[in-house]
Structure 1
Amino acid sequence: MTARVISRDISEGVVAPAFDETAMHILAKKRNGNFTVLKIDPEMLPSKSEERTIFGLRLRHKETEASIDEGAFDNIVSASKHTLQLPKEVRNDLAVAFAAVKFMQANSVCLAYRGQVIYKF
C-alpha cells in the first residue's frame, strides 16, 4: 500500500527497514528504474551528534533534545498577552510538525494539517 502512495509522488528515493516483492515491483517503475531504494537496520540508533567537514571547517551539530509531551502547548501566550487554549487537533498538528522538522536544518518550516505534513522546507 505504501509503495502505491509513493509511486504517485515526486521523490528521489525511499528508506525503510524492509520491502516486499510487490513494493519492489511498484517502485522499480519510478524514475525509469532509477528510483533509489535503501534498506536500513531497524535496530540501529542514530548518533547523538553529527559532524561534517566543509572547506576544511569541521562542524558538529548536537541532536535536538527537546521533546513533545501532553502539556507542551498548554502555555501559549498571544500577542495581546492572553494565554490561549489550543484545540486538541491543533496541538496534534503542532506535534506532527515538530517531529517532522526536528532533524532538519535550522530555520525549517513545516505545515501540518489533520495529522499530516502537507509542506516542509
Structure 2
Amino acid sequence: MTVILSVVIAFVVGGLILINGQLSPLEESASRYLGLLSKSDGNAACSAMTRNAQAEITATYRTESCPAAIDELLAPLTAAERSQLAETGTGSLRTSGRQGYVSLDGNPLDLSQLVFTNVEEKWLVSELQ
C-alpha cells in the first residue's frame, strides 16, 4: 500500500511540475551549464563544476586553468554550434544519493551525459561524458 501511494504521489508531483513548466533543480543545473558553455563563459562554467572536475578538465586539456580548458573544449565549434549547446535537450534524470545523472540529446560536443554532485544543496558538474 505504501509503495502504491508513493508512486501515485510521485506521478502527481511530476505531472504538476510538467504542467507548471518548471524544471527540477537537477535539470535546471544541466540547462544552465549548457547555456554557460554556449556563451563561452569559461569562468562561470568552471564555477558550476566541482573542484575535481575543474582539475580533471584542466589536466585533460593541459592548460593553466579551468576557464582555459573550457576555451579548448569549445575551440573546434563554430559560433552556430556553440549557440546550439543552449538548445540541447535533456533526457532521463536519475539520482543516487548525492550523485545526479542527466542524459543529453544530440549536441555539437557529442556529450551523452552530465554527472552532477550535490554540494551544499547545489548541483555541480562532476563529469562530462
Same-fold call, TM > 0.5?
Answer: no
Q: Normalising by the residue count of structure 2, what TM-score does the alignment of the two structures yield? A: 0.28
Q: Normalising by the residue count of structure 1, what TM-score does the alignment of the two structures yield? A: 0.29
Higher Rg of the two aligned structures: 1
By relative contact order (CA 8 Å, sep 6+), the higher-ranking structure is 2
Structure with more helix by fraction: 2
